[in-house]
Structure 1
Amino acid sequence: MMRTSYLLGFLLPHAIDAAALNFAYETTQLTAQEAGNFSAISFGNFTSSYQKPRCKVQPEDAAWPSEAQWARLNATVGGHLLKPQPVGAACYPDRPEYNNATCAYLLGPATATRFFFNDPLTALTTWGEGATCLQLRNTTGRTCTQGGFPVYVVNATSVRDIQAAVNFARNQNLRLVIKNTGHDFIAKSSGKGALSVWTHNLKGIEFLSEYTVGEYKGAAARISAGLEAWEIHNAMVEAGNVTVVTSLEATVGNGGGWALGGGHGPLTSLYGLGADQILSLNVITADGRFLTADMNQNQDLYFALRGGGGGTFGIVTSMVVKAWPKETRIGGLTFYLTTGPGAVTIPSARGYPPPPPLHVADTETFWKAYRIYLGFTKQIVDAGGFGFGDVNPQGNKTFVLVGTMMLPDYPPDKIRDFYTPLFESFREIGVNIPNPRHAYLPYAQRGTGITPTSFPGSPADLLFISRLLPRSLWDDTAVGNGTTSRLDGVSTVNRQNAEMGYRVTLRAYGPTAQAAGYPGNTTSAVNPAMRNMVIHCVTFKQEPVDVLPPDQFAAEHAKLRGRINELVRLTPESGSYFNEADILEPDWRTSFWGEHYPRLLSIKKAVDRWGLFWAPTTVGSDEWRVVTAQGLPTQNGPLCRAD
């Protein structure tokens, strides 16, 4: 077997032993002797009974570890134990970290850098943490506290660091959280009084020309937990003639929660979800032990980690994923329709040359065009593509529809034939987009890891609820009185939501069992509803909710939930996507995992009898709850047994 390593910008081809697939940081492990010499980091014992206090220990509790114990943990992890303060503290005059210049940097230049991704505490969504130390120019009347941010962070540089942190948290009855890049919509990487394991700096990728496991034999890539999509793309460009499935968002950590919870991207309809790519995982379980899960060993854990959700079953340090020894190119285009009197700011065209926005004077015609595009998305998915269809309200009854289609590996001479029927349908209702233009772009493109969602309080920091729209919507012709199809009903609900000021987005992709390929659907915990979907529909409240008082937050959530329940009523056979969902999703067990939930819960109880790995709406999470003073669904409170 030949392996190509991409580390710190270099490509190094060399031959290796087939069994020697660990990264260097994975060979540094905690020994039984080390654990025996420091009882606070001793390995877990599955035969002992669980007898711990009702709540995880908080800093103000008498049982909180002593400074001497923290110091010894720091020595154990080679000085990688951090006690960071929220970066927003620089904006608060009553904080010792106050610095007006630093605050100005956080609110300005830092948003166009890697600063927030490289911070051990920051998550891009602030409200779920508790919004306890926001970066604001005017902080009058507000306070900055540690709040829902972890107290200590282990900046993991080896398996040994993570094992020590896991054992310390379990033995000291501390809340443990896992943070990778900070792409975290509902605060899975936050927790009041927690010890955090930060995997962000575990970086490495190796391309394997031949890899065999189970019945799989072919090209693969070994990726580290902290590797982001843009870094994988840079490696693909350097290596040439190789394709690895990644997130569409460049700064998402491919080896973390993205793949463990499902993971969609531009190649999903062609090759499946991120979870479908995983051939093997190296993972540290709740007892502190380091093991491998694949089709031949630890099969239950392998099943659970492929779609069962991050932050639940263990801490993944690396994974082997499928690769294709070829360059992939993506044909596609973007178009814009507007209606209403307001001005239009054109968002990104995702690399494709868009025509000028076409203004549709008649609002009813605009929504007819939306319905036409909604119907066309199934064809994009069936062609192995990925589609966007976002309605952006701009106030004063003004709306912008942004449509993009991406067709990987589609014959270049057939792309125009593919999309021409869509624009002909538009013209039939009076919407004439002149000379639609497409482009054929390389899938792997160099990046820098700086994106519009590179800072907290960015467009990611909004209240939203999602729903998967099943293929059956496109197959049904009518419901009710026989004149209105369910897809018509979805179009009407989305229109109503946009008219109420919500932003409604469509992500069209189809991770069917056929697209997923071997090892197949039976070895994956991916939500069965995703195997029969065409669209992942997300409805956003436009204004940030991080500064709303509790009663207003509850009212806004209830209002949005009521609107999404209209989509639920139209799609009773479907569910939601775990990685991008409502933190208060009703019946989340069925909604996120369907028939897989009983097996996942059984695995959870078998591998984590201590309830160490906990995050909102994860498998088994209903056995615990965060107790907040205001009753908000944030992480700004102690984690306690639900009973």
Structure 2
Amino acid sequence: MAPSLRVAALAAAAALAPLASAQSLTVDNTTIPATTDTVAPAAANVSTSSSNSTVDLFSSEAVQLTDSVLTNLTALNLSSIDMFTFDDASTASKRSSKCKRSTQCKVMPGNLLYPISLVWDVFGLLLGPGALIKTVPLASPCYTNWNNENTATCAFLTNNWSNDSYIHADDPTSVMWPLYQGATCMPTDEPSNQCTLGGYPSYAVSVSNIAQIQLAVNFARNANLRLVVKNTGHDFNGKSAGAGALSIWTHNLKQIQYYSSLTLNGYTGPAMKLGAGVQAFEMYEAANQYGVTVVGGEGKTVGVMGGYILGGGHSPLSSLYGMAADQVLSMEVVLPNGQFVTASSTSNPDLFWALRGGGGSTFGVVTSVTVKAYPKMQVSVSTFNFVSGGNITADLFWEGIAAYMKYLPTFTDAGTYSYFDIIQIATDTYYFAMAPFFAPKLSQAQLEALIAPLLSDLSALGIPVNALSYWNYDNFYDAWNLHFPLESVGVTTLKTASRLFPRANFEPATGNATLFNETIAAIRYTVEAGSTVLAFNIAANPAGGYPDNAVNPAWRNTVLHAIQAISWDAGSDTATIAAACLKLTNDWQAAWRATCPDAGAYMSEGDILEPNFQQSFYGTANYARLYAYKQQVDPWGLFYAPTGVGSEDWYITGQVTGLPTQNGQLCHV
């Protein structure tokens, strides 16, 4: 870096950074103190009252990087400040042309144009103490090459890596599906092995206010960095991974505000405003405290207002109220140009439409969401199972599965949500487990009456039902908390794919019996071939209707969201893993797609290799509108995520066919 630019960068740090008194910056062997007496904050407190006829801002949202702050900074004639300024579409073509002259790819460590350490130091100073985190992989204490080896920590990680999603959510860069990170630093008992960043971002910003997000967005855009967003890291395709990237970590934006009666954009009733980092267990606890019910996911650690709701968000309450995205009244967002705006039906309506179902890490960084709340309700729950063996042949077991599945439309019409497994536990031996059958608003007697015809049909087939149990609760939270398991995560020996099966596939009496039989046969084929199936009996077409938004239209016809997985032995080589992944996509999943070719799949739990993901994850008409809007709001291509809107315009270098990790450089097609 030229001396003049070093001086400018140093001056920028001294002029801008919100620092603790002990911080300093060293350049060319000269240490300059940077104290609260000598520096000015790189953010301004603005009014918490919204100017867009929506709810008030959280205190974290009132701390913003403003035009006036930047005007004062640029008045200092500091050339390096350009790294952190806002941008708009009028300057995008100029800046893009400059980037294209130098590279078609996002810069990575080791590239000539990658920001030098001093620039990262300045960035860290602007963000404030502790906000910029240089990535240290979560499992690095198991290795010697990070100089932080710790036997006790490694033992804890090894024992909890796959059964404790909290440890991954609470880490700034860990993802819950490390297959797409490259599995380059997993817990091990061989400390001499090498732990590398692989697809982990190089840096993360632990966000506590809007100004930090704006600085990160502006820096990534202006420096041509790859940018990713992590909330909890739940996405099945590892969308928060990215080699060399800067990550915006929204996990700590956890403010919650309850409104007993809110009038907003045609809605009047109870509502909650929740920060992007609020997880399901936190949201449900708060809603229960206020005596209401809010639509969210079944997984305990899912970040509800992050990628979950942006991707649509299926819920134990979907058969009653629709998708989580259908509940949104307004959203606060940092756009790709760095500006902070409100999205609602009356403010930035195109953005509001796109964010509700169009996918995360695509149109901006959502910082909070205001959603409808519903009255407190009773919930009844049932669990049971049946298994083949003895007099229950494999054919008879599958007759039992068919007996259950013909009731899928009936059950969702009653507002229920079922979560079940179908597993081959040995050759010609199969296991079906209902865990749980979840019935919001129904009494135990009503649930027993609803299930009775199914139990009668199974009895008539000679299939005994095991461990049949019922419970009733006077609130949603207790039923949810006691009956949904903590997610299994962190596994690198399997890959998943999913399908949204329409109602028409499960109506043999009034619809197409041949199609019903073909659907059961397709599911059986994959299970017999070695697949495990985890599925949800769910509908998202509530009697009260749903708003116009970007939720995949396939959801409105669905009664079965089914996930299947293929596995391989630990230690398998790349070729073996890639072949298994391709088998899942091109064989097992193809059998499912053939029964409903015009349906789709849930993007957050779908196949990263899904053919024509645009139609499958978004719907053809929706995708055309989303893609056009993506070009308008993000002409820089700043936000990229695998299978996200516009992702077909980019590729990752060095990928192996069938195993698309995020370990390479992100380049424009």
TM-score when scaled to structure 1?
A: 0.88
Displacement of 1:115 in angstroms is 3.0
- Structure 2 gaps of 5+ residues are 1-48, 74-80
Displacement of 1:437 in angstroms is 3.2
2:85 corresponds to 1:39: no
The answer for the alignment partner of 2:381 in structure 1 is: 332
Residue 87 of structure 1: SS of its match in structure 2? coil
State the alpha-carbon separation in 1 of the partners of residues 256 and 185 from structure 2: 36
Alignment of 1:439-478 (within 5 A): 439-441=471-473, 442-445=475-478, 452-453=486-487, 456-457=490-491, 462-475=494-507
- Paired letter, 2:67: A
Alignment CA distance shift 1:514-1:548 (3 Å): farther
Displacement of 1:434 in angstroms is 7.2
Alignment CA distance shift 1:114-1:412 (3 Å): closer
- Out of 117, 120, 126, the position equivalent to 1:67 is 117
State the alpha-carbon separation in 1 of the partners of residues 450 and 569 from structure 2: 39
- Out of 176, 179, 185, the position equivalent to 1:127 is 179
Alignment of 1:148-159 (within 5 A): 148-159=199-210
Q: Which of the two has higher C-alpha Rg? A: 2
State the alpha-carbon separation in 2 of the partners of residues 293 and 58 from structure 1: 33
Alignment of 1:161-200 (within 5 A): 161-200=212-251
Q: Is the 8 A contact 1:155 1:199 kept in 2?
A: yes
- Structure 1 gaps of 5+ residues are 1-15, 341-358
Displacement of 1:557 in angstroms is 1.7
Residue 494 of structure 2: SS of its match in structure 1? coil
Displacement of 1:105 in angstroms is 2.0
Alignment CA distance shift 1:96-1:329 (3 Å): same
Q: Is the 8 A contact 1:377 1:387 kept in 2?
A: no
Alignment CA distance shift 1:464-1:571 (3 Å): same
Displacement of 1:541 in angstroms is 1.3
Alignment of 1:73-472 (within 5 A): 73-79=123-129, 80-108=131-159, 112=164, 114-138=166-190, 142-239=193-290, 241-324=291-374, 326-340=375-389, 361-403=392-434, 404-433=436-465, 436-441=468-473, 442-445=475-478, 452-453=486-487, 456-457=490-491, 462-472=494-504
Deviations 1:209-240 (A, max 9, x none): 2222222121111011000010012112322x
State the alpha-carbon separation in 1 of the partners of residues 160 and 595 from structure 2: 45
State the alpha-carbon separation in 2 of the partners of residues 439 and 513 from structure 1: 25
Q: Is the 8 A contact 2:327 2:371 kept in 1?
A: yes
**Higher helix proportion, which one?**
2
Residue 180 of structure 2: SS of its match in structure 1? coil
State the alpha-carbon separation in 2 of the partners of residues 211 and 271 from structure 1: 19
Residue 90 of structure 2: SS of its match in structure 1? coil
Displacement of 1:32 in angstroms is 2.1
State the alpha-carbon separation in 1 of the partners of residues 470 and 198 from structure 2: 49
Q: Is the 8 A contact 1:259 1:306 kept in 2?
A: yes
Displacement of 1:374 in angstroms is 1.3
Displacement of 1:451 in angstroms is 6.2
Deviations 1:55-96 (A, max 9, x none): 000010111112121111111111211102112222223442
- Paired letter, 1:508: N
The answer for the alignment partner of 1:641 in structure 2 is: 668
Alignment CA distance shift 1:577-1:434 (3 Å): closer
- Out of 575, 581, 585, the position equivalent to 1:551 is 575
Residue 498 of structure 1: SS of its match in structure 2? helix
The answer for the alignment partner of 2:623 in structure 1 is: 597
Q: Is the 8 A contact 2:385 2:468 kept in 1?
A: no
- Out of 600, 619, 624, the position equivalent to 1:575 is 600
State the alpha-carbon separation in 2 of the partners of residues 560 and 580 from structure 1: 14
State the alpha-carbon separation in 2 of the partners of residues 360 and 320 from structure 1: 54
2:651 corresponds to 1:625: yes
Q: Is the 8 A contact 1:277 1:516 kept in 2?
A: no
Alignment CA distance shift 1:44-1:115 (3 Å): same
Displacement of 1:130 in angstroms is 1.1
- Paired letter, 2:66: T
Alignment of 1:48-59 (within 5 A): 48=91, 49=93, 50-51=96-97, 52=99, 53-59=103-109
- Paired letter, 1:457: V
- Paired letter, 1:334: T
Residue 409 of structure 2: SS of its match in structure 1? helix
Alignment CA distance shift 1:598-1:271 (3 Å): same
State the alpha-carbon separation in 2 of the partners of residues 426 and 278 from structure 1: 41
The answer for the alignment partner of 2:540 in structure 1 is: 511
The answer for the alignment partner of 2:39 in structure 1 is: none
Displacement of 1:139 in angstroms is 5.9
Residue 248 of structure 2: SS of its match in structure 1? strand
- For these two proteins, the number of residue pairs brought into alignment is 597
The answer for the alignment partner of 1:350 in structure 2 is: none
Identity %: 35
Deviations 1:436-475 (A, max 9, x none): 4321133113969x964375238xx730111111011134
CA RMSD of aligned residues (A): 2.5
State the alpha-carbon separation in 1 of the partners of residues 601 and 572 from structure 2: 26
- Paired letter, 2:153: T
Residue 193 of structure 1: SS of its match in structure 2? coil
The answer for the alignment partner of 1:24 in structure 2 is: 59
State the alpha-carbon separation in 2 of the partners of residues 47 and 173 from structure 1: 17
State the alpha-carbon separation in 1 of the partners of residues 467 and 138 from structure 2: 49
Displacement of 1:390 in angstroms is 1.3
Q: Is the 8 A contact 1:503 1:541 kept in 2?
A: yes
Q: Is the 8 A contact 1:59 1:193 kept in 2?
A: yes
Alignment CA distance shift 1:338-1:413 (3 Å): closer
- Paired letter, 1:605: Q
Alignment CA distance shift 1:605-1:211 (3 Å): same
State the alpha-carbon separation in 1 of the partners of residues 185 and 207 from structure 2: 25
Q: Is the 8 A contact 1:338 1:360 kept in 2?
A: no
